[in-house]
Structure 1
């Protein structure tokens, strides 16, 4: 079992644009004792309501959204930019947990911290509690064409604001 170091959100030194936009992340939640996960590359981190938070965007048709909606907590996990990590996250983003046991097929090892599911292979994990959720709406877009370009099927994302309660970092092996 991997050793983890707990740090504060303020101690994260990796560029969030690189983490989310290039490495991608897995959004993982549990419902009725079963976990599901999906790859995401849209999101952010910051401070809101005097709390360290992450912003996560999930389309309405995503199976993982059912898990996120049914749970108070979720994890956001990061794996680096290796070819193997990219291949695994591409698979987990393409295949639905409705259709197959994609977690088992991915080869990742599900584990928990404080009751929140995540994967042992991650190098950094944000464990969070949901604070807010709202679906985007086309009337709120301020730049003409932006909604049409990104939502041709009108499947506007749900925006989740998640308080980062704990950050786990992979321990350096001696």
Structure 2
């Protein structure tokens, strides 16, 4: 995105420089860091911080790429992974859309596939449809949380099916 001239804002929950190794080339480049690339520190589980950042920067587009840094960690901390990759986002999504007036925008893609997204009238995400999806996602997340005593293959199947709306 930087190569295409975008101003990019990222969010990291840690200030530990060793955990930013994948973006250290950006952080160490004075032509990019704090000019076209900005790293904000926030915990996505705390709604106030992301909301403050979004209010400050007023982005044209938002991409949710949060998740565990390592595949192993995502399997070791399944509940935390589900919380940050789905549940926390679903809780804030309606508020953010209203605040940023995204419901009236020309493009609304919640799955990150900007170029494959279709926003035809029969597929619009209005408040009622979004509340229904959030309720269904919450129900599936709760089912997943109760499945921790199940065999690992059942947990993975529940996690994969969770997003099949």
- Tell me which interval the TM-score lies in, with the shorter structure as reference length: under 0.3
TM-score, reference length from structure 1: 0.25
Between Structure 1 and Structure 2, which shows a larger proportion of strand residues? Answer: 1
> Greater CA radius of gyration, 1 or 2?
2
Bigger RCO of structures 1 and 2 (CA < 8 A, at least 6 apart): 1
What is the TM-score of this pair, normalised by structure 2? 0.26
Relative to its length, the structure with more helix (as a share) is 2
